[in-house]
Structure formats: structure tokens, C-alpha cells
A and B are shown apart, each in its own frame.
Chain A
């Protein structure tokens, strides 16, 4: 069985984002970029499935600029076998990404396709669901546990009310939640080895996809600032403020 993992290059989650003064977007110059944390969890899960003997090969794919090679190499260092970079300088929207991933999944004959539940830059939470629809397969989104047995995946999902388990015949799409696993750190020898693993380069056109989207970001503004309030010296003062100043209790 083959696993395909989609990874996105995003601003590192520790970096404080700044909106550009002209409101055209956020300032990404000289900022640290990383694998989207949820994608890293997806890579880890695929590697664990390989270690458990469930899958034989883990392929990682990213759609993005040339620099996304760094994130693919990082995933290879975590244990993925080979990478595919679909290079584009255009902004990658979920529908276009899903169309390209469908092309890759079908070309590779992937049985399990893992994605993050959400990319922490655009906060869309769409791509996995769209890919599942395009491929006409089942989706186990927001997964906190995955078991693959007898040609199907049992996926425990984090839902608003608690947890839900569903069964999906393979191939299927799985999107990861935070508690699915804790990704390992890449060891130095594996980082060296990753440099020699195959990394194919493609373009959206190879999959018959144009990156144009019917969405247009008109402006990006900073959120309203919350000014810091006051320090209260005691529980009594806190209660007094909540009652008599804020009128909330």
C-alpha cells in the first residue's frame, strides 16, 4: 500500500504575523517558514504506518514555490521515501490544490491520503474534504486516531461534542488533528539521507490545472487591538471591578 501526504509550506507557527502597511497582505519577508504543523502530524502518521508494515511507501507532495523543497526535505528526513514538488509562484487555493493532489494520488495509486486538517496561514480547512469529493472517496477529517485493518480505515474524529469513529473503505482521505500523534525530531543522519532521496518536480499544467481562482483578496487589515487592561491587587478588587465597573457578574 502507498501513502500520499500533502504538505504545505507556511509561516512558522511561532512567528508573530504582521500585516503590511499598504494592507496588501502579511509581511513574509525574512520570516521563518516551516511545514504546516498539521501536515507534520500527517507525515508522522504515514511514517508510523510504514513502520507498522501497513504501507510500503510514503510519498510527500507540496504545491508551492521552489523553496517548498525545504519542507519536502524536512518530511523526507522524518522518514518519507520520496517527494513531489508541484512548482508554482501563484497563490495556491484549496480547490486547485485538491485538483492537483487528485492527479498525483491517481498517478501513484495511493491508498491512504493524509493531509492536515487546516493550514495555519489561510485557515481554510477545506483541501482534504475537496480532494475526497473529487476522488469520490470517503473522508476521515480531524482524526485523533487511525487504524488500518482489512482494506479499511477506522478513524476517530474530534467533533464538537467529543469523539466520533467512522469506517472508510480504502482509498480514503484522512485529515489530522493535533492529538493524532507527536511528530518525532529528525535525526542528523536522517537529514543527510533525506538529501539523497528522490524529489520530482512538476507543474500544475502537468495535471491539467490552472491556478487561477475566482477569489480575490481585496485587502488584509490588522485585527482591532485590544488594549491591555489593569492589574488588580486582590480577589476582592477583581470582584468589585467585575461587578461595578464591567457589570458582567
Chain B
């Protein structure tokens, strides 16, 4: 039976997390369909059609899906569910929002944030902020999963020759309406898919210091900028930069943590990074126990020096 992947996009671009989810889907079936629901999302459907491993793209283009309201999207996905053994979505804020709603509409339990496919019914996922890995067998007729993007390689964006099917299915639940959004605009790479991430913690002391000390380093390295919860709570930087159990999960090749102590909730979001560097003036900080390279230093001196010497 075919499996369905819900595409994460902004009506213009296909988000990378979709590619990781497609890889997970190809481990479950040879027939992977991608659902692109949005408003003016035809370009995204074209992009999805060329992704390796995809055999069909279903494009549902209607204003009711413009803001991906969970109430509407869930009805749509439920409508399509009949033809699929598995339905997968990236574990983005969007995927986390609507997928459990679909599951309840179908009266099935589901698995969040899987990190490994063992067989069609058995999956791994982390629990307790990454302090344990559970192997779970799920015996529902229809298996719904959200997929942790850092745990699966991205499918190639070329090589696929899927057909694009337009579907007219307008689901307006009338239970929610979009009011406004304040989205961060940045020229930097996206946090969850960047090869290098530099993150700052409470020790940065202010938003100005993020600009003064972290941004130049990020510019030099072509890195994304992340933050600890303490830095976000203190208002230094916006919420979309939080790395951790309850923020974003990242696994770059290089993660530089400046002035971050390394609480388990923060580690949960970055300890799968390939190389971890910590810059901290406290050699006892828990970050020292996961860092490949620990530089005991005052970050206000070390960061400018590092930036200038790179």
C-alpha cells in the first residue's frame, strides 16, 4: 500500500524537513505520495514532483489551506487517509499541530517525532528529553507518524518524475481563523538544516550582544544562530531561535555553544551534532561533558578573537 507524506512549505518553497520525511517514507513503501495543501501552492507541487522516490503529488490549492489551520488540514488528510497504510508529516510546529488531530478523527493512536524506522509497525523515538530511546510497536490499522528531520537524510530534490494531480477538496471547519503573524526574516540558513549553528545563552546578557558578538561569527561561518531558553525568555532573541526539548532539534556538523550551561532540555536539542564546541567560563558546566572541544574563557573576549582569526 502507498504511504502519504504531508509537505511542509510556505506556498513558494518546499521545506527541507519534507525531504527527510520522504526518506523515512521510502523505508516503508515503494510508493510514496506527497500531499501539498496550500493556497497558490502549485510551484511547491512541481518541486515535490521532482524529489527522488516520490511517485505522485496531490496538490490541493485553496484559500482555506493558506495558513495551514489544523482544523481544516486535519479534515483534508482524514479524507485522503483511506488509500494509505501510513501517513507521515515532518515534526515541525505545523506537523505537531495537525497530525494528532487527524489521528483522533481516525480514532487511532500515533507516534510523535520518530527517529528510526525498524519495520512497518516498529519505530524508535526519544522520550524524557532524549535521555531514553523507546522502541515502540504500534498495531493500528493506519499508522500516523511525525518524523524528526535530523534523524533521516534528505531525499534528493532531483531525479523524481512524479505526476501532479490536482484535487478539489475544500474543508473549512469554521473552528478557527487566522488573525496575524510575525515571522522572522533572515538571510541566514535555516536553524534546523544549517551545517553550522552558533548559539548563545543567558551569558550573552542582551539582544545587542547577540548582534555584536554572535552575528559576526555566524556571518564568517555562514552559520545559523540559535539560543537557549534562558536567552529567549529574557527577550534577547525571538522564540523561533530556541534550541532544545521544547524548541528546535538541530544536528549540524558544528554546534558552537557560547555561554550555555548545557541543561538536559538544551542538550536534547543539539547533542546529536557532529562536533560540539563550548565556550564557557565554568569548566564544571554540564556542556563540558558533551563538548568535543571546551574552551574555558570569557565569551566577550573569545568570540571576537575567534571571529577575527577565522
Contacts and interface: CB of A to CB of B under 8 A. Distances in A.
A96 B39 CA distance: 35
Contacts, number: 255
Interface in A92-133: 93-95, 98, 117-118, 120-133
B112 A123 contact: yes
A230 B105 contact: no
B178 A166 contact: yes
A132 B101 contact: yes
Using C-beta atoms within 8 Å of the partner chain, give the interface range for chain B. Answer: 35 or more
Interface stretch (A13-21, A45-53, A72-80): A13-21
Given A129-B97, A235-B302, A215 B133 contact: no
A158 interface: yes
Contacts of B184: 161-162
A186 interface: no
A107 to B, nearest CB: 19
A37 to B, nearest CB: 9
Nearest to A136: B175
Nearest to A128: B100
Interface in B152-186: 173, 175-184
B296 A231 contact: yes
Nearest to A122: B127
A249 interface: yes
B264 A16 contact: yes
B310 A98 contact: no
A7 B170 CA distance: 36
Given A214-B139, A228-B290, A162 B238 contact: yes
Contacts of B103: 95, 126, 130, 133
B176 A138 contact: yes
B175 A226 contact: no
A133 B290 contact: no
B275 interface: yes
22 contacts: A17-B129, A118-B246, A123-B125, A129-B70, A138-B71, A138-B176, A139-B97, A139-B176, A142-B93, A144-B239, A159-B240, A160-B92, A161-B184, A162-B181, A163-B183, A214-B109, A216-B136, A216-B138, A218-B135, A220-B134, A222-B132, A229-B293
